[in-house]
Amino acid sequence: MEPSSKLHRAHVLVLPFPGQGHINPMLQFSKRLVSKGLKATLALTVHVAKSMPAHPSSSITLETISDGHDLGGLAEAESIQAYLTCFQAVGSRGLAELIHKLDCSGRPVDAIIYDGFLPWVLDVAKQREKLGVVFFTQTCAVNNINYHVQRGLLPLPLSGDVVEVPGLPPLEPLETPSFVCKLGTYPASYDLVINQFVNVDEADFVLCDTFYELEKEVIDWMSANLWPLKTVGPTLPSLYLDKRLPNDNAYDVNLFTPITTSTVSAWLRRHRHPPRSVVYVSFGSMADLHASQFAELAHGLALAGHPFIWIVRSTEQHKLPRDLMDSIPSEEALILPWCNQLEVLESDAIGCFVTHCGLNSVIEAICLGVPMVAMPQWTDQPTNAKFVEDVWRVGVRARADESGVVGREEVERCVREVVGGGGGGGRGREVTESARMWMETAKAVMAEGGSSDRNIDEFVEELVSRVSSGSVTP
């Protein structure tokens, strides 16, 4: 049973951007806060709440606000820019009303934890005299690049062969986020990531969904020169990390049709695939691969000769090369529109994750010790892929040709290099061992006394102390 509100040390209202990769970490972080004695209310957009098959964990109270697109969400809007403008206008009003409602209900809100993609929430928080806590869902490396762009410290368009940003290794231009490197490709998305930093200096706390050990250099630089940020990740369910939160074994919110675990596990069992022999392929919830890339990937996987599980969202399935797919025996390939990725990655049979390098996928692979083949598409993914290969050394990058497509031989080469690498020599062996090492570290940071666990404790203590002393600066 939920404890009485009087026992809660403070009440936080959590507002993620309405995307799977944003709701997951912020909901998971909310569960951690509840486990530390706070009350957490998660505000989802009406559209997301309606499309959710399952209700989030009972320890979190769910509320909704309108983004002005209650029926179809972002997909219904004319453009991303139109959506964001509408969300800010309608959302600001809705959020203010929600805060008022909660304040009147006897469970007043003390702080708003808001997604960096929604910087306007800080204005609402300040107007209502609440603490404003920004939560960044990209790596600190990417945040630092975007911060430098926003402040004019990294002039665009990029010039020269090397991009230097403090705390980061030298980057090739193509290793920076795509909006920075290919200026003008997605102007609305560029605004979204860059505007995260317009008012960050006024936030009461800065939280990042990463962990200290993973990004020491850049975190030390940012903490010393920008703001006292706290890393609070990884935000996987506790079952996959420290196992301290009872019943925290899934993300709870699924914007796509979930596939029952049994589909994948039955397939793996039926075909008795040996440990670390199967390739898992997924490009997340948004990537929009060209049909030619689907064809090259399919051929490359077939050439590599390892069984594979490939997640292809239903809206993308028409791009699969039908003839080739039909010719692959069912024990060699399982195509699904969506799955429980954590359960799949946790399986002993999985030896490699071919990923678009969305941050959640990368962190999940790290936490579960699965080496990667990186095939970044856009946004922060090229930078994440750089770190996967050269900094964390947990995967190899598949190189695209001049047209931007990764060819079948390159897919074959990378998959062969990574799968079964533990037994062989060279790069495959190195990435397999690093993956195992990073998995141990990732689990340790969330265990009692680990770096993120300590940061969460400190955040809770500081928040409660500011709430008790009434030091909220409008």
Say whether residue 335 binds ligand UDP (CB under 6 A): no
What region, left, alpha or beta, does residue 365 occupy, with left being phi > 0 and alpha being psi -120 to 50 degrees?
Answer: alpha
Q: Alpha-carbon torsion 206, 175, 391, 424, what sign?
A: positive
Say whether residue 282 binds ligand UDP (CB under 6 A): yes
Decide whether 141 or 311 has the Cβ nearer to ligand UDP. 311
Whole-number minimum distance, CB 20 to ligand UDP, in Å? Answer: 5
Residue from 188, 286, 324, 437 that binds ligand UDP (CB under 6 A)?
A: 286
Decide whether 189 or 282 has the Cβ nearer to ligand UDP. 282
Decide whether 158 or 281 has the Cβ nearer to ligand UDP. 281
Say whether residue 339 binds ligand UDP (CB under 6 A): yes
**What letter would DSSP give residue 390?**
I
Residue from 341, 384, 451, 455 that binds ligand UDP (CB under 6 A)?
A: 341
Q: Alpha-carbon torsion 198, 202, 208, 214, what sign?
A: positive
Decide whether 21 or 119 has the Cβ nearer to ligand UDP. 21
Q: Which residues pair with 241 in a beta bridge?
A: none
3-class state of residue 98 by DSSP: helix
Q: Which residues pair with 309 in a beta bridge?
A: 280, 334
Q: Taking contact as CB under 6 A, which single stretch among the options 16-24, 61-69, 401-409, 428-436 is the one that binds ligand UDP?
A: 16-24
Residue from 142, 180, 203, 359 that binds ligand UDP (CB under 6 A)?
A: 359
Whole-number minimum distance, CB 145 to ligand UDP, in Å? Answer: 17
**Token couple for 26:** 């912020």
Strands 11-15 vs 111-115: parallel, antiparallel or unpaired: parallel
Residue from 110, 252, 364, 417 that binds ligand UDP (CB under 6 A)?
A: 364
Say whether residue 235 binds ligand UDP (CB under 6 A): no
Taking alpha carbons only, the member of 189, 186, 182, 190 closest to residue 158 is 182
Say whether residue 311 binds ligand UDP (CB under 6 A): yes
Say whether residue 310 binds ligand UDP (CB under 6 A): no
Is residue 344 a contact partner of residue 350, using CB atoms and an 8 Å limit?
yes
- Give the nearest residue (CB) to ligand UDP: 358
Residue from 17, 20, 308, 365 that binds ligand UDP (CB under 6 A)?
A: 20
Cis peptide before 258 (omega within 30 of 0): no
Alpha helix stretches (DSSP H) within 195-239 = 216-225
Cβ-count burial 398-418 (b if 16+ within 10 Å, e if not): bebeeeebbbbebbbbbbbbb
Count of beta carbons in the 10 Å neighbourhood of residue 366: 25
Residue from 57, 360, 432, 455 that binds ligand UDP (CB under 6 A)?
A: 360
Per-residue CA distances from 40 to 37, 113, 217 (Å): 9, 10, 32
Say whether residue 24 binds ligand UDP (CB under 6 A): yes
Residue from 8, 10, 18, 21 that binds ligand UDP (CB under 6 A)?
A: 21
Whole-number minimum distance, CB 192 to ligand UDP, in Å? Answer: 13
Q: Which residues are near ligand UDP by CB under 6 A?
A: 20-21, 24, 282, 284-286, 311, 338-342, 358-361, 364
